Amino acid sequence: MSQMIQCSKILSASELREACLPLSAGSDMTDLHFQSDLYGNGRRVLSSELHLGNAEWINQQECRAVPHGDSEYVIKAALHECGSRLNVEEDFIVYSNSLVYSPMKNAAGIIRAAGTAVPPSLKSSTTKRSAVASLDFSLRLMTYDWKFERSSNVYRPGDLMNIEGSVQSTEPTPLRLFLDSCVATWDANTDTVPRYVLIQNHGCLTGSHEVNFTTQFLQRKQNHTLQLQMDASRFHQDSRYTIYITCLLKAGAAAQGVSSVKKACMYTGTRWMSMDGQNEVCQCCDSLCDVRNSDQSKQQDQTSLTGPEAFGRKLVTLGPITVLD
């Protein structure tokens, strides 16, 4: 019989006293300390009875508790190991995991915990302790060779406008970035008219069916960046000359892969193509890719998501950009 203690905050005194001491996270490691007198009843549990993560990780040395001084145990493991779960909440990556106590049988074959037999249906109260990392989204104009950020925001008709979205994190978990939607407007207010929709439907490049269309995604080189290229001539007809490009940037763990609502797709003559190589996620680009949230303007107001498919998002505006005659 095992009991699961989710360490994210010190457990209540009535349940496990202060079994879990503060968890600290370095650049890529979890350092979890807890009392050997786990239940506060004077009985020290064995380090061999404790491990981080579910049963799959019980034999992994880095997931098992080891003595640390006279009255403590410690588990040190990489943030992504031992079955850690990753969620993205607003601009933060949140890691969570479970400390599992599996008491050993005594010589009579009886398992005792906290001085009494623990019923099979009993679950200890749980709380959460999380290692948190900040997400930094950016949208930049790049030089013609994509090596540097462009120093000037002024273009002439025929110039190529190279736009790069990126996301960075203080933690090592690989991320994948998407441009969920993008619009071009004549001022920073995205509700102004006229407005030109560049990307919609969760990552579908609009107008790419058209002959001689000059806007395109570039094939990915790194998961945490996405490059968009367009001809500045597209905007020079307006007498105001100045435009703003506003995009909803979205990022999740690269291991989550892509889906109909996390993708980068453009039409290439005969079919929709994914910049991540999984073209099937682009099949909805000619219809509606998320019937649950068809109004993408409402998506911009949703700033916190949790669960295995969680992702962070941020609305970023690039400009003013000047296109001369």
- Would you say residue 121 has pLDDT above 70? no
pLDDT in tens, 201-254: 999 999 766 656 678 999 999 999 999 999 988 776 666 678 999 999 999 888
Q: Would you place residue 295 in the very low, low, confident or very high pLDDT band (cuts 50, 70, 90)?
A: very low
**85, 308 Cβ separation under 8 angstroms:** yes
Domains, the chain, ordered by start: 3-129 (2.60.40.3210), 135-323 (2.60.40.4100)
pLDDT in tens, 57-95: 778 888 888 888 778 888 888 777 787 776 665 556 666
**17, 51 Cβ separation under 8 angstroms:** no
pLDDT in tens, 138-184: 999 999 999 999 999 999 888 999 999 999 887 677 889 999 999 99
Which of these, 161, 140, 296, lies nearest to 226 by C-alpha position?
140
Q: Which residues have C-beta within 8 Å of that of residue 11, sequence separation ≥ 6?
A: 5, 17, 18, 19, 20, 124, 125, 127
